[in-house]
Amino acid sequence: MTSRPMRALLVVLALVLPSAAQDSRPGPAERLRVLEADFRKEMRAFENTARKLFAEAERLKEEPDLSKMPKPPNGDFIPKFKALAADCQGTDTELSCLLWLFENGGEGFFAMSPPNGAEPAETPRKETDDMIAAKAIMERHLASPRLDGFATGLMFRAGIPGTRGAAKDYLARLAKESPHKEVRAAAILGQMMPAYEAGDEKTAEPLIALLKKDYADTKVYKEQVAGILFERENLTVGKTAPDFEVEDIDGKKFKLSDYRGKVVYLDFWGFW
């Protein structure tokens, strides 16, 4: 027969042990770390297999057999990131999951313009995981300082039928409502670039002026906009080519300006 003190001890253990076991489970941040590490491992394996496939095809001077291409691991991880995001709504860990889903959960550029360059029609399609994640980011994480890369992703989706409207709306909101200057700059760039590349100066010029006036101290401006402005102001037809100095095959240095007044043919090439 069990003594009264022993029964009391067993009751205490029965109450404490489940709680201790529950506390030992990894938290959301640790689960995210493991999940991201697992995905990187699977992605490296996928890339190595694909690289070998193309290298072998090049060695044999054949087209690669794409039927042997492994399936990218994204699809297997999407439910896992969605489940973790659902478990920690409103947290920075949820935002990390949503940003991963935004980057990896869409249809990519297979839905973009047809080969003949014609403007694709806006055709309704099922909302994909990337844009579902984008909607959640806008609803719960609009004030985050981590959305500059998100804005860049929206810029590319603004050219895809079916996501164009939402992407443009999200960029406009980020440019107006984000409390962070880098994010606003990235969103304005996301609005400007499609117009700039399409030759729509009426839309692009005010945005370029805004970036130059109010965002010249941002990383976005220094790394992206400044290069665009330099190209526009110095590398268009009729402008003087920027001078540079190189060595010829004999090691003799020369400058482009040494040949001013002469017809010069420049051939840029390299190995990749």
The answer as to whether 32 is a domain residue is: yes
Q: Smallest Cα–Cα separation from 193: which of 162, 151, 222?
A: 151
What pLDDT shows up at residue 108?
A: 47
What pLDDT shows up at residue 238?
A: 81
* Neighbouring-strand partners of residue 59: none
Domain that holds residue 69: 27-108
The answer as to whether 229 is a domain residue is: no
What's the burial of 202, exposed, middle or buried (CB within 10 Å: 0-12/13-18/19+)? exposed
The answer as to whether 226 is a domain residue is: no
Please give the Cα distance from 54 to 271 (Å, whole number). 17
What pLDDT shows up at residue 240?
A: 82
What pLDDT shows up at residue 230?
A: 85
What pLDDT shows up at residue 104?
A: 93
User: H or E element: which one contains 33?
Assistant: helix 28-59
What pLDDT shows up at residue 112?
A: 41
Please give the Cα distance from 260 to 159 (Å, whole number). 42
The answer as to whether 222 is a domain residue is: no
What pLDDT shows up at residue 123?
A: 53
Tens digits of pLDDT across the chain (272 residues): 556 655 555 555 555 555 545 556 789 999 999 999 999 999 999 999 999 999 999 998 999 888 888 889 999 999 999 999 999 999 999 999 999 999 998 764 434 444 444 444 555 556 789 999 999 999 999 999 999 999 999 999 988 888 889 999 999 999 999 999 999 999 999 999 988 888 898 999 999 999 999 999 999 999 988 988 888 788 878 888 888 898 988 899 999 999 988 888 878 776 65
The answer as to whether 39 is a domain residue is: yes
The answer as to whether 113 is a domain residue is: no
The answer as to whether 60 is a domain residue is: yes
* Total domains, the chain: 1
Which letter does DSSP use for residue 62 in this model? Answer: S
What pLDDT shows up at residue 269?
A: 76
The answer as to whether 191 is a domain residue is: no
B/e letters for 226-247, b = 16+ CB within 10 Å, e = fewer, are eebeeeeeeeeeeeeeeeeeee
CA angle, 137 then 159 then 121, to 5°:
115
- Cβ contact 131:157 at 8 Å: yes
For 49, 51, 74, 100, 107, the CA distances from 70, given in Å and listed in that order, are 7, 11, 12, 21, 17
